[in-house]
Amino acid sequence: MELNLNKNPLNPELTKVYQQGIESVKSYLRVRYSAQTASNEAKLILVGEGDVGKTCLMDALLGHPWQEHDTTHGIEIKQIKIIDSQSKKQVILNGWDFGGQRVYRPTHQLFFSSPAVYLVVWKPREGSQQGFVKEWIQLIKRREPEAKILVVSTHGGPQQRQPDIDKQELWDVFGKETLVGFFEVDNKPDVGGVRYGINKLKQAIAQSAFTLSEVGRLIPKNWQKVRDELAKSTSTYLSYDNLLKMCYLYGMNEDDARLFVSVEHNLGHLIHYQHDPALRDIVVLKPNWLATAISFILDDKITRQNNGLVRFSRLNQLWDDPFRSPENRYPKNLHSIFLRLMERFDLSYAVDRISGSNQSDPQSLIAQLVPDVAPNEKDFEKKWTPEIVSGDFQQTQICRIVDASNGQSANAEGLFYQLIVRLHRYSLGRVKYADSVHWQRGLVLDADYNGRALLRYIGNDVHITVRAAYPQGFLTILTDEVKFLVESFWEGLRCEVTVPCLNPKPCKGLFEVSKLIENKKEGHPQQPCSICNKWQSIDVLLSNAPASNPLPQIDALATQKVLDELSELRKILIKHDDVTIGRFDHLDAGQRELLSQAETSYRNLLQVFTDEAKEGPRLFSMRPVDPNWLEVPKTLVSQKFRILLWCEHSQLPLFVLNKEGDRRGIYEIDLPYEWVTEAAPYLKAVVATLSLILPVASSATKLLLPDDQYKNIEKELAFGKDVFDSMLKGADKLTNWSDKADAPDLPHGAMQSAEGALLRELHAFLKEKDPAFGGLVRVMDKQQRFLWVHEQFAREY
């Protein structure tokens, strides 16, 4: 039975559970329907510029005595309980007080969530423009379009300057569904002990909270009990084992407890990374604890002067400063955990982990603090030459970032900082940091034979230019990364992939690729530019768009001639295995194009089966056990096949990565002849693709295979390919399958259900033999796609 819940209006917990696969959905539904309870809990987030009275407003909402406060570092969280005067029901609000300094904004967005009630706080004496009221509303709405927002002016008592703000303009722009209302309060009590406007504001908060989809919904009763227990805890973190034990006390079994922790992490209620060796034993219960620690780095003068480079010894000083209050000091045994969490949040990356230098006092880059200006022209041209290298081609795409509600250009605040971290595996400084080229609005990357790229943040748009023998591959990777990040992190924004106008006179016109493809299908050869009004060839415009160009056909690529050439290339690469950057420079353009096309075919194969990866691995090779398989009577209903599972990270068979003698990931299974026949086009595509990537994967410095082992795997793949070739009897089924997979108008992971069903059947066959899939670890990459990797690579995700 197949269960497809895509595009269904699921509650927050079930949405996150479904992303983990059908087995997780079954576990959740079993727990939920055993006992349920209503949850009247929501998040209250206070934002605004520094020194507008957010912390004093929090005190007023809590009924605490009046007092002055220093500047808030990071985030402070306090629980507020309000009884709605209309329904007489109580709502529990977890109030988050965000520091207002601009440098904190990219970090704070990590903790924005919906459903939530937001208070945008400003001071009338500063003026609405100075308070950046509109900018804060945009920041919230772009991150969480369903948020409920209340605009609150502080110091608004009868004797104070009255608010001067254009309410109608803000309602016209954002709508009354989002912008609930405007309120004036005075955080300081008058002589009679009354805080002006606070009770009215509290009732508005409660009424807004009860309109949120999350408030009042039913959830598993034991889940809510554990949540309540954690909320009462004064601990900032727990060991993973202790949290599981707490779940057991409230009636969860081990699988249910692990699912609970995973879902709570995905919802942002706590932080836990189960596959990261440095983090899997700790659960952070108070995310604000981490935010405050991050703020100390962002405020550090030394780190800022070093353009974001910081040694671990300096972090030790910042996080355990004896001059700070005890609650703002952190034990040294947690410092490495903090740093790893910052990497997980795309705030930093370990410079020395890439280069392998100075491990005694490793160095990290805080991307938000990189230089704000581009390198000087002379230095820049050494890394991005004015002329294109002979044999290379150049392609450019522009990711136009717009507001999803009106299509107008919009700012994704902090986007480029995250890109610097997420793409650091392609950094020019991955061997020697000084060779890096990045600034707050630009980045130069190198992906070996896939080419070199320049990313620039111009206005609100990201311009991506790739130079390579086959630029489509790297351009697709980078465009997908930008589009995914924008549309997943900022739910109120949309990323339109465009190509630039071809008018020889400078023109800022852009053509959206999806519309060009649509117009071409309708038979239109040309389309006018919206800026210069010049009619241009759609085919010429689409030459810059990888999505419109047919991907390499596996049948045409995986010929014996090509495979022989790749084997020869492997020998050349092995001779240069001590080189990291420039290892492929001595190859000619044709050889680099071939390697890039092979890698593109591999990525396409995995992409086609994105959904199936929730339940099991996609990468395997297989062949009949009997070498005389052609002589086996066709009356048999099944035949024994040898199946090898492969690691989707290293692109190598699992058994070669295991310790000597560890035969996990190798199976002999009786497969129904009918299934094998039906799956033959797909099976041929898999073994052909593995044949293409094996030569490069097996030549990597740390994973170098002995020649005899390489030859045996090569023969195994060739035998499997010949088998499925013979079964197809010359039919063109593989090309048809590949055409469907490569179609530019299909979304990621989309394909005909028949092939997906065949892979799910194979998962079932394998589970009967080995439910653990040979010890492969299911991980999730930066784009929230599942991969199945050898345990030694799990930390990479």
pLDDT value for 740: 44
Tokens of 200: 């009215």
pLDDT value for 377: 92
**How many Å apart are CA 760 and CA 74, to the nearest integer?**
46
Beta bridge partners of 439: 442
Tokens of 678: 């039906």
Instruction: Classify 507 as helix, strand or coil.
Output: coil
pLDDT value for 6: 66
CA 14 → CA 25, 30, 376, distances in Å?
7, 12, 51
Does pLDDT of 97 surpass 80? Answer: yes
Contact 647, 656 (CB under 8 A): no
Higher pLDDT, 156 or 543: 543
When pLDDT is cut at 50, 70 and 90, the band that residue 702 belongs to is: low
**Domain at 287-369, CATH from 3.10.290.10, 1.10.10.2200, 1.10.3720.10, 3.30.1540.20:** 1.10.10.2200
Does pLDDT of 665 surpass 60? Answer: yes
Q: In CATH, what is the architecture of 41-209?
A: 3-Layer(aba) Sandwich (3.40)
Does pLDDT of 487 surpass 50? Answer: yes
Longest dimension (CA), the chain: 100
Tokens 């919230």 belong to residue: 140
The contacts found for 654-663 with CB under 8 angstroms, 24 or more apart, are 654/774, 654/775, 654/776, 654/790, 656/705, 656/709, 656/713, 657/703, 657/790, 657/792, 658/775, 658/790
When pLDDT is cut at 50, 70 and 90, the band that residue 735 belongs to is: very low
Tokens of 236: 């900032």
**How many Å apart are CA 603 and CA 527, to the nearest integer?**
32
pLDDT in tens, 317-331: 999 999 988 888 898
pLDDT value for 749: 34
Mean pLDDT of 492-496: 94
Same fold: 41-209 with 287-369: no
**Cβ neighbours around 500 below 10 Å, total:** 18
Beta strand spans in 124-268 (E): 148-153, 179-184, 217-220, 237-239
The crossing angle, in degrees rounded to 10, of helices 312-319 and 335-344 is 110
Instruction: Classify 357 as helix, strand or coil.
Output: coil
Does pLDDT of 32 surpass 60? Answer: yes
- Give me the amino acid identity at 520: K
Residues 6+ apart with CB under 8 A from 545: 397, 497, 499, 513, 516, 517
Lowest mean pLDDT among 158-162, 257-261, 492-496, 518-522: 158-162
When pLDDT is cut at 50, 70 and 90, the band that residue 551 belongs to is: low
Instruction: Classify 545 as helix, strand or coil.
Output: coil
Q: In CATH, what is the architecture of 12-37+216-284?
A: Orthogonal Bundle (1.10)
**How many Å apart are CA 554 and CA 551, to the nearest integer?**
9
pLDDT in tens, 392-401: 999 999 999 9
**How many Å apart are CA 289 and CA 286, to the nearest integer?**
6
Strand-strand pairing, 148-153 and 75-83:
unpaired
Mean pLDDT of 659-670: 91
**How many Å apart are CA 157 and CA 470, to the nearest integer?**
66
CA 357 → CA 397, 425, 508, 577, distances in Å?
36, 16, 44, 19
Does pLDDT of 384 surpass 90? Answer: yes
The pTM of this model reads: 0.84
User: Among the ranges 154-168, 192-206, 252-266, which has the highest mean pLDDT value?
Assistant: 192-206
Residue-level length of the chain: 797
Read off φ and ψ for residue 44, nearest 5 degrees.
-120, 120
Lowest mean pLDDT among 96-105, 489-498, 547-556: 547-556
Residues 6+ apart with CB under 8 A from 308: 365, 366, 367, 368, 369, 370
Read off φ and ψ for residue 629, nearest 5 degrees.
-60, -30
Burial class (CB in 10 A: 0-12, 13-18, 19+), 88: exposed
When pLDDT is cut at 50, 70 and 90, the band that residue 636 belongs to is: low
Q: What is the DSSP string of 103-130?
A: GGHHHHGGG--SSEEEEEEE-GGG-TTT
Does pLDDT of 737 surpass 60? Answer: no
When pLDDT is cut at 50, 70 and 90, the band that residue 411 belongs to is: very high
DSSP state of 376: P
Does pLDDT of 228 surpass 50? Answer: yes
pLDDT value for 61: 93
**Cβ neighbours around 760 below 10 Å, total:** 17
Beta bridge partners of 652: 647
When pLDDT is cut at 50, 70 and 90, the band that residue 725 belongs to is: confident
Task: List the chain domain ranges.
Answer: 12-37+216-284, 41-209, 287-369, 554-796
Contact 759, 682 (CB under 8 A): yes
Strand-strand pairing, 90-98 and 36-39:
unpaired
Measured in whole angstroms, the distance separating CA 515 from the mean position of its chain's CA atoms is 26
Q: What is the DSSP string of 462-495?
A: EEEEEEESSHHHHHHHHHHHHHHHHHHH-TTEEE
**How many Å apart are CA 660 and CA 692, to the nearest integer?**
26
Measured in whole angstroms, the distance separating CA 225 from the mean position of its chain's CA atoms is 31
For the chain, give the percent of residues with pLDDT over 90.
42
Does pLDDT of 752 surpass 50? Answer: no
Lowest mean pLDDT among 314-323, 576-585, 659-668: 576-585
**How many Å apart are CA 328 and CA 291, to the nearest integer?**
11
Does pLDDT of 218 surpass 90? Answer: no
Closest alpha carbon to 775 in 650, 615, 612, 617: 617
Beta bridge partners of 366: 348
pLDDT in tens, 123-171: 887 665 655 888 899 999 998 888 899 999 987 545 555 567 888 989 9
**How many Å apart are CA 520 and CA 703, to the nearest integer?**
45
Mean pLDDT of 1-14: 64
Closest alpha carbon to 651 in 692, 711, 604, 623: 692
User: Please, what's the b/e burial string for 152-171 (b: 16 or more CB within 10 A of its CB; e: otherwise)?
Assistant: bbbbbbeebeebebeeeebe
- What does the mean pLDDT of the chain come to? 85
